[in-house]
Amino acid sequence: MDLATHLVLAERLLETCGLPGGGAVYAVLPEMDVKPAHYHRQFANILLYQPTIIDAAIEILRRPEAATRDFAALRAALAPALADLTAEVARLRVDGTAEKAAVREAVNRHYCVTRLTEDLETFFAELDRAVPSLGPGILEVSTDRMAAAVAFLSHTYFLTYTYPPMPFLPFSPMAAQQIAFVEAVDYFEFTGIFARPGHPEAEAFRRTILEAQDLWDLTVPVADEPDPVIRRRMQEQNGKPLQPVALVKAMIERLGALCPGIEHAAVEKGVQLYLRYLGCVQVVHADREHRFLRRLEGGILRVAAGRFGRGGQA
C-alpha cells in the first residue's frame, strides 16, 4: 500500500483508541529505510528496532524547527547531535568490551536520526495531501508515545497486503503475508494502483475503507465466544474505545498468525518487547481487539475482491 493509504488506516485505528489523529504521521515514517536499497521495507518493519525509531522520531518532532517546518534549521540544529552519535558509534566499534547489542543500538540510532532528518519534509508533504480526506487535525503532529507506537506498528501490520515484511527478525526469518488475500485478488493489479500517486483506483479504495462504518464499529460480535469469562469481559468493553496496548498486542499476534510456521516464542518476544517499551507490565487481554482486527481484515479483503477479484469475481 502507498503512504496515503497507510495514513488513512492509521488515523482510523488511532480514532478507535481515542488517541490523537495527529499521531498518524508515524505510519509514514517507516519509509525512512528507503536508503540504502537493501534496507527498504525491512529495517523499519523489524519489531526489535521500532522503539529506537519511534524515540528518535519523537525527539525530532518535538523540536520547534519541526513544528515550523524549517527543515534547513532542523538539520543545522541536529548536526551536533549527529556528530556525537557518529563519534559514539566509532568508539563502540573499536571497544573490544562493548556488547554487540550496544553497538547495534548506537548504529541504529545514528541511522534513524540521519534518515528521519533527511526525509522529514517528504513525510510532512504526505500529511498535507491527506487533509482533504482526513481533515486538518492530521497536521497537528502528536508526540504521544502510545499514539506513535500504534501508528508506526500499523504500517508493518498493513504492509502484509503488498510487501510481506519479516517483523520478528532476528528471532524468526518468517515473512508475514496475507495469503488468503492474495489468493482472492489479482495481486499485481491491486498492488499496481499504489505505484502511481493519485491513482483513481487507490483513491476509491481508500474512500471505501474510510466510509465503511461497519469496519470501525467499536461493538464487535461476542456471542459466539465459548469462554464465559472472556465473553463477559468483552461485553463489558464493547462500544468503548479499544485499549491501545491491547491493540498493539493484537497487531503483533496477528503478524505472527500471518507468518506460516513461526515459533510461538518469537511472537511472544515481539509482544513483550513492545509492551515493555510502552511501560506495560500487567497482563493484557486483547480478545476484543483481535476480533476487531479480524473483522477489519475481512472488510479490506471484501472491498479489494469486489474491485480486483480474480476473473472479475468478488
Three-state SS for 239-295 is CCCCCHHHHHHHHHHHHHHCCCCCCHHHHHHHHHHHHHHCCCCCCCCCHHHHHHHHH
Report how far residue 217's alpha carbon sits from residue 90's, in angstroms, rounded to the nearest whole number.
51
Written as nine digits, the cell of 85 is 552519535
Domain containing residue 62: 3-309
**Which residue matches cell numbers 461476542?**
222
Report yes or no: 45 and 31 within 8 Å, Cβ to Cβ: no
Give just the sign of the alpha carbon dihedral 164, 216, 247, 314: negative
pLDDT of residue 311: 62
Q: Is residue 314 part of a domain?
A: no
**H/E segment holding residue 298:** helix 287-308
Report how far residue 194's alpha carbon sits from residue 189's, in angstroms, rounded to the nearest whole number.
10
Q: Is residue 45 part of a domain?
A: yes
Q: Using CB atoms within 10 Å of the CB of residue 111, give its burial: 0 to 12 exposed, 13 to 18 middle, 19+ buried.
A: buried
What is the DSSP secondary structure assignment for residue 231, as one 8-state letter?
A: H
Domain count along the chain: 1
Helices (H) and strands (E) in the chain, counts: 13, 0
pLDDT of residue 29: 97
Written as nine digits, the cell of 199 is 491513482
Q: Is residue 83 part of a domain?
A: yes
Give just the sign of the alpha carbon dihedral 167, 177, 257, 278: positive
What is the identity of the amino acid at 199? H
Report how far residue 33's alpha carbon sits from residue 37's, in angstroms, rounded to the nearest whole number.
8
Q: Which residues of the chain have pLDDT under 50?
A: 312-314
Report how far residue 121's alpha carbon sits from residue 238's, in angstroms, rounded to the nearest whole number.
40
pLDDT of residue 281: 87
Give just the sign of the alpha carbon dihedral 94, 98, 101, 106: negative
